[in-house]
């Protein structure tokens, strides 16, 4: 039997840490801070009281959804990853994890996401398949549209609004704006990240923005998206009539976002990874911390 072009031999035992590496579990930090913002914002803007039970369910949903999406993406991209020198050592191309096992891992996490959403509220449960469709569908978009970066951004943008809806079961303009912030922020830094694969994507006829428009225009598009993020961050602060803590967080977030554009001027792997993982991770985390503090002080 085969799975794609992989022979379905007896799968070997794989350490759980390999699955954490498969889904880049450390990168959960990109969506987590904004999920926290959405959850605490629901307490701040409504008469709801903090619930550890719901808080845990929200975190589990986020982790399960992201695990499902990342592992599914690794399965669908396994042949592309194998041909790309930058990604050839990933868990599936290198043989550390069998593609069938990765697919099963993805489906288990997808199922756990839906089951967990059932215990939150009906609205979140009914919307969970749509969220999965976006998260899993992203894996195919780079093959036919330059909007692939924006589909990824949309997937992560579900975090703040989803967390808010988990607590309240309703919409609100502020978490929607936060979701737009995440959408533009993630789309922008994914465009920068993909610059390092510009030549490979051209050879493979993949539709990343750098491959289609070139790295110079890709940087410009990313900059425009992030300038819009800055404007929206100020907009949220004015809507909430935020105090000092929010504005400290806003300045830190914006400063780190601008710094990544300066760092990534050279497209070598070291500078790109530093800008992508370290700076963006710190930006989101610190922005969330100061946001949450601003709701109480």
Q: Torsion over CA of 96, 100, 103 and 109, rounded to 10 degrees?
A: -80
Q: Domain containing 207 — which CATH number?
A: 1.10.357.140
Band (1; pLDDT cuts 50, 70, 90)? very low
Nearest by Cα to 282 from 40, 39, 33, 63: 33
Q: Quick one: pLDDT at residue 273?
A: 73
| Residue 36 falls inside a structural domain | yes
Q: Quick one: pLDDT at residue 8?
A: 46
Nearest by Cα to 161 from 119, 110, 115, 124: 124
Q: Quick one: pLDDT at residue 20?
A: 76
Please determine, for residue 12, whether its predicted confidence score (pLDDT) is greater than 90.
no
| Residue 97 falls inside a structural domain | yes
| Residue 22 falls inside a structural domain | no
Average pLDDT over residues 203-220: 94
Residues 288 and 33 sit within 8 Å (Cβ to Cβ): yes
| Residue 93 falls inside a structural domain | yes
Residues 101 and 28 sit within 8 Å (Cβ to Cβ): no
Please determine, for residue 250, whether its predicted confidence score (pLDDT) is greater than 70.
yes
Distances (CA, A) of 56 to 156, 158, 166, 167: 18, 17, 11, 11
Please determine, for residue 179, whether its predicted confidence score (pLDDT) is greater than 70.
yes
| Residue 130 falls inside a structural domain | yes
| Residue 86 falls inside a structural domain | yes
**Axis crossing angle, helix 122-141 with helix 148-168, rounded to the nearest 10:** 170
Q: Tens of pLDDT along 44-87?
A: 998 888 999 999 999 999 999 999 999 999 999 999 999 999 88
Residue-number span of the structural domain to which 51 is assigned: 31-296
Around Cβ 4, how many Cβ atoms within 10 Å? 12
How many domains are contained in the chain?
1
Please determine, for residue 176, whether its predicted confidence score (pLDDT) is greater than 70.
yes
Residues 180 and 153 sit within 8 Å (Cβ to Cβ): no
Please determine, for residue 26, whether its predicted confidence score (pLDDT) is greater than 70.
no
| Residue 250 falls inside a structural domain | yes
Band (3; pLDDT cuts 50, 70, 90)? low
Average pLDDT over residues 154-174: 91
Backbone phi and psi for residue 262, each to the nearest 5 degrees, phi listed first? -75, -40
- With tokens 């070598």, the residue in question is 268
Please determine, for residue 274, whether its predicted confidence score (pLDDT) is greater than 80.
no
Nearest by Cα to 120 from 65, 166, 61, 168: 166
**Axis crossing angle, helix 99-118 with helix 52-76, rounded to the nearest 10:** 150
Residues 237 and 247 sit within 8 Å (Cβ to Cβ): yes
Which residues are bridge partners to 6 per DSSP? 3
Average pLDDT over residues 272-290: 85
pTM above 0.75, yes or no: yes
How is residue 157 annotated by DSSP? H
Q: Tens of pLDDT along 98-115?
A: 999 999 999 999 999 999
How is residue 27 annotated by DSSP? G
Please determine, for residue 292, whether its predicted confidence score (pLDDT) is greater than 60.
yes
| Residue 230 falls inside a structural domain | yes
């Amino acid at each position: 039997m085969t799975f794609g072009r992989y022979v379905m031999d007896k799968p070997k035992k794989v350490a759980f840490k390999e699955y954490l590496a498969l889904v880049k579990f450390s990168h959960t930090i990109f969506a987590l801070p904004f999920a926290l913002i959405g959850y605490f914002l629901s307490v701040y803007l409504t008469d709801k009281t903090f619930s550890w039970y719901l808080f845990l369910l929200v975190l589990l949903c986020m982790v399960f959804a992201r695990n499902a999406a990342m592992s599914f993406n690794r399965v669908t991209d396994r042949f592309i990853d194998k041909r790309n020198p930058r990604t050839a050592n990933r868990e599936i191309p290198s043989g550390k994890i069998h593609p069938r096992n990765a697919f099963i891992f993805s489906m288990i996490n997808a199922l756990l996401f839906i089951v967990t959403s059932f215990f939150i509220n009906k609205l979140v449960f009914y919307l969970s398949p749509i969220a999965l469709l976006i998260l899993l569908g992203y894996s195919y978009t780079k093959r036919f549209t330059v909007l692939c970066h924006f589909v990824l951004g949309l997937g992560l943008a579900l975090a703040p609004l989803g967390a808010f809806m988990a607590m309240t079961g309703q919409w609100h303009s502020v978490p929607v704006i936060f979701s737009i912030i995440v959408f533009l922020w993630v789309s922008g830094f994914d465009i920068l990240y993909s610059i390092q694969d510009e030549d490979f994507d051209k050879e493979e006829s993949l539709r990343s923005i750098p491959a289609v428009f070139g790295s110079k225009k890709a940087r410009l598009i990313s900059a425009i998206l992030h300038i819009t993020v800055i404007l929206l961050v100020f907009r949220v602060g004015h809507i909430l009539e935020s105090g000092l803590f929010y504005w400290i967080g806003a300045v830190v977030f914006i400063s780190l976002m601008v710094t990544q554009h300066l760092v990534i001027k050279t497209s070598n792997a070291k500078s790109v990874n530093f800008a992508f993982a370290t700076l963006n991770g710190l930006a989101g985390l610190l922005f969330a911390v100061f946001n949450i503090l601003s709701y109480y002080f």
